[in-house]
Amino acid sequence: MTGTLVETEDRRQYKATRRRGLTVDLSMTLATILAALAIGFLVMLLTGNDPVGAYEAMLTGPLERSFRVGRWLEDATTLTLLGLSVAIPFRARQISLGAESQLYAGALAAAAVAVFLPLPPVVAVIVPLVAAAAAGAGMGLVPGAMKARLGANEIVATLMLNAIVVRVYDYLVNGPLKEPGSSAVHSKSIQQDSALTPLSDWFGIPLGRANVGLLLMVFTAVALWLLITRTPLGYRIRMTGSNPEFAEYGGIRVPRVIEWSFVIGGAVAGLAGAHLVQGVYGRLEPGLAGSLAFEGIVVALLARNNPLVVVVAGLFYSYLRAGGDIMEQQTDVGTEIVVVIQAVIVLLVTAQALPDLLKRRLARREVAGR
Amino acid sequence: MHKAWERSGPAIGARAVTKTYGNGVRAVRGVDLDVPVGEIRAIVGENGAGKSTLMKMFYGLEQPSSGEVLVGGRPRVLGGPASAIGLGVGMVHQNLMLVPSFTVAQNVVLGVEPGRRGRVDLKAAAETTARLAEESGLAVDPNARVDEVSVGMRQRTEILKVLHRGARVLILDEPTAVLTPQETEDLFAAVRRLRDGGMTVLFISHKLREVREISDRVSVMRAGSLVGTVDTSDATERSLAAMMVGRDLSLDVDRAPARRTGVALQVRDVQYAAPTGQSLDGIGFDVAAGEIVGLAGIEGNGQTELAEILAGLRRPTSGAIRVGGTGTAGLDVAGHRRAGIGYVPEDRLRNGAALDESIADNLVVDRHDRAPLARRGLLRPRAVRAHAEQLIEDYAIRTPDASVPVRALSGGNMQKVIVARELSAAPRLLIASQVTRGVDIGAMRFMYERLGAARDAGAGVLLISADLTELLALADRLLVIKDGRLVARFDDTSGLTEKRVGLYMLGVERHDHDHITTGLEEVDAV
Measured between CA atoms, the residue of chain B closest to residue A5 is B25
- 8 Å CB contact of A253 and B332: yes
Q: Are residues B296 and B334 in the same domain?
A: yes
| Alpha carbon distance B147, B440 (integer Å) | 32
Residue A352 has pLDDT above 70, yes or no: no
Residue A131 CB contacts under 8 Å (≥ 6 apart), including other chains: A109, A110, A112, A113, A274
Q: How far is B47 from chain A (nearest CA, A)?
A: 9
- DSSP assignments along B380-405, one per residue: -HHHHHHHHHHHHHHTT---S-TTSB
Can you give B110-135 as a three-state secondary structure string? CCCCCCCCCCCCHHHHHHHHHHHHHH
Radius of gyration of chain B (CA): 25
pLDDT score at B407: 84
- 8 Å CB contact of B351 and A232: no
Please check whether residue B315 lies inside any domain of the structure.
yes
- 8 Å CB contact of A3 and B409: yes
pTM for the complete prediction? Answer: 0.79
pLDDT score at A331: 81
Q: Which residues of B touch A230 (CB under 8 A)?
A: 378-379, 381
Torsion of CA B339, B344, B348, B353, to 10 degrees: 40
Please check whether residue B343 lies inside any domain of the structure.
yes
CB B264 within 8 A of CB B323: yes
Classify B271 as helix, strand or coil.
strand
- 8 Å CB contact of B408 and A239: no
Q: Which residues of A touch B21 (CB under 8 A)?
A: 1
CB B406 within 8 A of CB B355: yes
Q: Does A246 touch chain B (CB under 8 A)?
A: yes
Give the pLDDT band of residue A8 (cuts 50, 70, 90).
Answer: low
Residue type, A215: L
Instruction: Pick A360's closest partner by Cβ from B23, B343, B374.
Output: B23
Torsion of CA B202, B206, B207, B211, to 10 degrees: 30
pLDDT score at B248: 63
Q: Tally the domains of chain B.
A: 2
Q: Which residues pair with residue B34 across a beta bridge?
A: B13
| Alpha carbon distance A28, A353 (integer Å) | 9
Going along B246-384, which residue ranges are E strands?
Answer: 263-272, 280-288, 292-296, 318-323, 326-327, 341-344, 374-375, 378-379
pLDDT (average), residues A223-245: 94
Instruction: Pick A9's closest partner by Cβ from B22, B369, B400.
Output: B400
- 8 Å CB contact of B400 and A248: no
Radius of gyration of chain A (CA): 23
B373 CB neighbour count, 10 Å cutoff = 22
Residue B43 CB contacts under 8 Å (≥ 6 apart), including other chains: B51, B54, B55, B202, B203, B204, B218, B219, B221
Q: Are residues B304 and B229 in the same domain?
A: no
Measured between CA atoms, the residue of chain A closest to residue B349 is A246
Given B216, B245, B274, the domain boundary residue is: B245
Q: How far is A310 from chain B (nearest CA, A)?
A: 21
Q: Does A247 touch chain B (CB under 8 A)?
A: yes
pLDDT score at B278: 86
Q: Are residues B186 and B289 in the same domain?
A: no
Phi, then psi, of A184 in degrees rounded to 5: -80, 160
Q: In sequence order, which ranges of chain A are alpha helices (DSSP H)?
A: 2-8, 11-46, 51-64, 66-91, 99-116, 123-150, 154-174, 199-203, 213-230, 232-242, 244-249, 254-274, 292-302, 307-330, 336-351, 353-369
Please check whether residue B373 lies inside any domain of the structure.
no
Q: Are residues B174 and B318 in the same domain?
A: no
Instruction: Pick B400's closest partner by Cβ from A10, A250, A251.
Output: A10
Interface list for A 343-362 with B (CB within 8 A)? 360
Please check whether residue B188 lies inside any domain of the structure.
yes
Please check whether residue B131 lies inside any domain of the structure.
yes
| Alpha carbon distance B64, B18 (integer Å) | 6
Q: Which residues of A touch B352 (CB under 8 A)?
A: 246, 249
Q: Which residues of B touch A232 (CB under 8 A)?
A: 368-369, 374, 377, 379
Instruction: Pick B354's closest partner by Cβ from A15, A246, A364.
Output: A246
| Alpha carbon distance B416, B400 (integer Å) | 15
Please check whether residue B163 lies inside any domain of the structure.
yes
CB B285 within 8 A of CB B520: yes
Q: Are residues B179 and B42 in the same domain?
A: yes
The ranges assigned to domains in chain A are 20-49+332-370, 70-331
- pLDDT tens-place values along chain B, 526 residues long: 456 787 778 899 999 998 877 655 677 888 999 999 999 999 988 776 788 889 999 999 888 988 899 998 888 888 888 899 989 999 998 777 888 889 999 999 887 887 777 777 888 889 989 999 988 888 889 998 988 888 888 889 999 999 998 899 999 988 887 787 888 888 999 999 999 989 999 999 877 888 999 999 999 988 788 988 999 999 888 888 888 877 666 666 777 888 888 899 999 999 999 887 789 999 999 999 999 999 999 888 899 999 999 999 999 999 999 998 888 888 999 999 999 999 999 888 889 999 889 999 999 999 998 888 988 889 999 999 999 999 999 998 888 889 888 888 877 888 999 999 999 999 999 999 989 887 777 888 889 999 999 999 999 999 999 888 889 889 999 999 999 999 999 998 888 888 889 889 888 889 988 888 888 887 765 4
Instruction: Pick B333's closest partner by Cβ from A242, A248, A360.
Output: A248
pLDDT score at B393: 92
- 8 Å CB contact of A238 and B357: yes
Cα A39 from chain centroid (whole Å): 25
- 8 Å CB contact of A249 and B351: yes
Most A-contacting residue of B350, B368, B375, B387 (CB-CB within 10 A), to test interface: B368
Q: Are residues B200 and B289 in the same domain?
A: no
Q: What digits encode the pLDDT tens for the residues A181-208?
A: 888 888 888 888 888 888 888 888 888 8
Phi, then psi, of B471 in degrees rounded to 5: -60, -45
| Alpha carbon distance A141, A158 (integer Å) | 10
Q: Are residues B347 and B423 in the same domain?
A: yes
Cα A156 from chain centroid (whole Å): 21
A with B: how many residue pairs have Cβ under 8 Å apart? 123
CA angle B253–B259–B260, rounded 5-degree value: 125
Give the pLDDT band of residue A66 (cuts 50, 70, 90).
Answer: confident
Domain membership of residue B204 as a residue range: 38-52+82-245
Cα A2 from chain centroid (whole Å): 35
Q: Does A176 touch chain B (CB under 8 A)?
A: no
pLDDT score at B450: 92
pLDDT score at A1: 38
Measured between CA atoms, the residue of chain A closest to residue B364 is A250
Residue type, B217: R
Nearest by Cα to B61 from B81, B77, B89: B81
Please check whether residue B12 lies inside any domain of the structure.
no
ipTM: 0.83
Classify A263 as helix, strand or coil.
helix
| Alpha carbon distance A87, A298 (integer Å) | 10
Given B177, B210, B245, the domain boundary residue is: B245
Most A-contacting residue of B18, B19, B20, B23 (CB-CB within 10 A), to test interface: B23
Q: How far is B384 from chain A (nearest CA, A)?
A: 11
Classify B358 as helix, strand or coil.
strand
Given B213, B245, B277, the domain boundary residue is: B245
Q: Which residues of A touch B424 (CB under 8 A)?
A: none
| Alpha carbon distance A180, A182 (integer Å) | 6
| Cβ burial, residue A229 (10 Å; 0-12/13-18/19+) | middle
Q: Does A19 touch chain B (CB under 8 A)?
A: no
Q: Does A230 touch chain B (CB under 8 A)?
A: yes
User: What is the CATH classification number for the domain harbouring B467?
Assistant: 3.40.50.300
Query: Which CATH code for domain A70-331?
Result: 1.10.3470
Q: Are residues B311 and B239 in the same domain?
A: no
Instruction: Pick B21's closest partner by Cβ from A1, A13, A14.
Output: A1
pLDDT score at A266: 96
- 8 Å CB contact of A7 and B350: no
| Alpha carbon distance B295, B303 (integer Å) | 8
- 8 Å CB contact of B352 and A247: no
Please check whether residue B21 lies inside any domain of the structure.
no
Q: How far is B376 from chain A (nearest CA, A)?
A: 10
Lowest mean pLDDT among A2-6, A102-106, A117-121: A2-6
Residue type, A276: L
Side-chain-facing half-sphere of A350: CA atoms under 13 Å:
13
Q: Are residues B192 and B277 in the same domain?
A: no
Classify B231 as helix, strand or coil.
strand
Residue B233 CB contacts under 8 Å (≥ 6 apart), including other chains: none
